Amino acid sequence: MAEKIKIYVTRRIPDAGLELLRKNHPQFEMNPEDRILTRSELLEKVRGLDGLLSLLTDKIDGEVMDAAGPRLKVIANHAVGFDNVDLPAATQRGILVTNTPGVLTDATADHAWALLFAAARRIPESEKFLRAGKFTGWGPLMFLGGDITGRTLGIIGAGRIGHSVAMKSKGFGMRVLYTDEVANPALEQEIGAQKVSLEELLRESDFVSVHVPLLPSTRHFINQETLRLMKKTAYLVNTSRGPVIDEAALAEALRDGVIAGAALDVFENEPAVHPELLKLDNLVLTPHTASATVATRNKMATMAASNLIAALAGQQPPNLVNDEVWGKHRT
């Protein structure tokens, strides 16, 4: 008798995805607690799996893949980013890796805007002041921030999310600069965005929003040197991956007035936040929630489950990131 397909979900995901899994593979298992598995739990739980549904908080490296063993056919990551998965290690072992692109583009771009506004108009800082009972009347010098309408927006990485952030600037009549390895002609045509060098973008932008994947080449590419190129009145927003910014350098720049402010949704050593950042008022922080809307998370869960189900049915999963594995797949 054929052995049952073994699937493990590392943490509870929205019901839309779980229902799909239940319908196709009612025997699937899931971490019953709403918390990140420890390393030893993860290594134990993956044993003998055919399919793993992982989150961006799970480090899926060669050790995990070897602990799973030769049956592991697919790692379906519940995120568009997949820097938590060692892709070469998966490819070498013939394991399909999938992600959830597209469905979180607008939610993430909306959040980048929420952060930009919150930083420029000092929303958390002034709300704290008000709640503390310190508001004794309107003041001409109270909580002065930065203008947004008509200013220059710099987009680092004009892929899906960067493009969406740029498009949303239309309502604010902003000039848009972008930097990317490849040109984005649609963005240029639609809103007259200009492709410039990173240096020019940093020098000219009033707001810089980061949308690059985490790669060896993007790690700490916002650092002391690049921060010093920015205007003293500029704001930095990051909704991509934490390690693209050197947090110690950012804390110093914010403290010393090298830039006016920043807003971060992602952190270098998540869930830890650099202690110097926590001391600053000219910084807005959210806990990696840029894609956290009900509809978006349902779509991500459905997408991750569909990718897993397709791969286990011997079909090419719709959001395969290591295409080269498909050709030589072990089915």
- Tell me which residues touch ligand DGY (CB under 6 A): 56, 79-81, 104, 291
**What does the alpha-carbon distance between residue 52 and residue 43 come to, in Å, rounded to a whole number?**
12
Q: Residue 2 Cβ, how far from ligand DGY at the closest point, in Å?
A: 34
Nearer to ligand DGY, 121 or 160 (CB): 160
For residue 241, indicate whether it is catalytic.
yes
**What does the alpha-carbon distance between residue 212 and residue 222 come to, in Å, rounded to a whole number?**
11
Q: Which of 111, 241, 274, 297 is flagged as catalytic?
A: 241
Q: Residue 13 Cβ, how far from ligand DGY at the closest point, in Å?
A: 12
Which residues is 96 bridged to in the sheet? 74
Q: Which of 63, 188, 252, 270 is flagged as catalytic?
A: 270
DSSP, collapsed to helix, strand or coil, labels residue 230 as coil
φ, ψ of residue 235 to 5 degrees: the values are -125, 145
φ, ψ of residue 97 to 5 degrees: the values are -120, 135
Cis peptide before 275 (omega within 30 of 0): no
Nearer to ligand DGY, 81 or 124 (CB): 81
Q: Residue 55 Cβ, how far from ligand DGY at the closest point, in Å?
A: 9
Q: Residue 203 Cβ, how far from ligand DGY at the closest point, in Å?
A: 29
Pair of tokens at residue 317: 């999963």
Q: Which of 219, 100, 96, 202 is nearest to 160 (CA)?
A: 100
For residue 93, indicate whether it is catalytic.
no
Contact present, 165 and 211 (Cβ < 8 Å)? yes
**What does the alpha-carbon distance between residue 158 and residue 163 come to, in Å, rounded to a whole number?**
5
Nearer to ligand DGY, 79 or 249 (CB): 79
Q: Which of 12, 71, 220, 288 is flagged as catalytic?
A: 288
Nearer to ligand DGY, 81 or 94 (CB): 81
Positions marked catalytic = 241, 270, 288
